[in-house]
Amino acid sequence: MSLSTQIKQQFPHFKSELISEIITHGIEKTIPKDTELLRVGQHVKVIPLVLKGVIKVFTRHEDKELLLYYIKPNESCIMSFSAGINQLPSIIYAVTEEESHLLLIPADKLRFWTTQFPDFNSLFFYQYNLRYTDLLETINSLLFDKLDKRVFQYLKDKANVTNSNPIKISHRQIASELGTAREVISRIIKKMEADGKLKQNTTTIEILDL
């Protein structure tokens, strides 16, 4: 399948003129799993359009992380877009959750494309709404949900975005991304296993109540 056809299929609201610009100036690239794409303080050079795979966006304090949202196929990173168009350093980290096929848009094209192509703007208006909802859900979960509910929802979300069950993941990684201690996660996982919600193997966790 040609890149032009793939873009038309995954971003059907893009007009031909915009697709031509993207193909001319964009960089098509496959990025391995667990590759850092962006870190706090880094100036944004490219904006990813995800054709295949998943990107994890998070913030970090000392040795703890807080998962903010995932970027899935047919989506882009609104935080990168905002930093890129305003020529500001990033305030988030972005890492590939799995091997990902990306189309990298040069940040120096953003201002021109947003004024010339309304269809390009529509993508990021949608992304703003989507990420605003994601962040509200994260805040509500932090404020009102017990940790065991957060852990179970986190595992379900990861299984859904990666389309995998069992999930290859460690207690330490779960603790890091939820901003808590590994020992706490181990106790919660053990209780969930006793309750029949999931099953642990050596390096994976299988959700039985997905």
Residues 49 and 102 in one domain: yes
Residues 51 and 92 in one domain: yes
Q: Give the domain-ending residue among 143, 178, 199.
A: 143
Residues 96 and 110 in one domain: yes
* pTM score, whole prediction: 0.80
**In Å, what is the CA distance from 162 to each residue of 52, 90, 197?**
11, 25, 19
| Residue ranges in the chain assigned as alpha helix (H) | 3-10, 16-25, 78-85, 110-116, 118-144, 147-162, 171-178, 182-194
Q: What is the pLDDT of residue 104?
A: 95
- Region 91-102 average pLDDT: 95
Which of 173, 180, 172, 169 shows the shortest CA–CA distance to 141? 180
Q: What is the pLDDT of residue 63?
A: 72
Q: What range does the domain containing 16 cover?
A: 3-143
Q: What is the CATH number of the domain that holds 193?
A: 1.10.10.10
Under a CB-based contact definition with an 8 Å cutoff, are residues 103 and 31 in contact?
no
Q: In the chain, how many domains are there?
A: 2
Residues 92 and 39 in one domain: yes
Model pLDDT for residues 67-80, shown as the tens digit of each residue: 888 999 999 998 99
Residues 153 and 203 in one domain: yes
- Region 97-103 average pLDDT: 95
Q: Which of 6-15, 139-148, 192-201 has the lowest mean pLDDT?
A: 139-148
- pLDDT surpassing 70 at residue 210: no
Residues 139 and 157 in one domain: no
- The mean of the pLDDT values for the chain is 90
Residues 100 and 179 in one domain: no
Distance (Å, rounded) from C-alpha 178 to C-alpha 176? 6
- Region 104-117 average pLDDT: 92
- For the beta sheet containing 100-106, the strands, ordered from the edge strand earlier in sequence to the opposite edge, are 27-31, 100-106, 46-52
Which of 117, 33, 93, 97 shows the shortest CA–CA distance to 105? 117
Which of 94, 35, 34, 70 shows the shortest CA–CA distance to 161? 70
- pLDDT surpassing 90 at residue 56: yes
Distance (Å, rounded) from C-alpha 100 to C-alpha 123? 20
- pLDDT surpassing 90 at residue 42: yes
Characterize 102-125 residue by residue with b for buried, 16 or more Cβ atoms within 10 angstroms of its Cβ, and e for exposed: bbbbebebbeebeeebeebeebbe
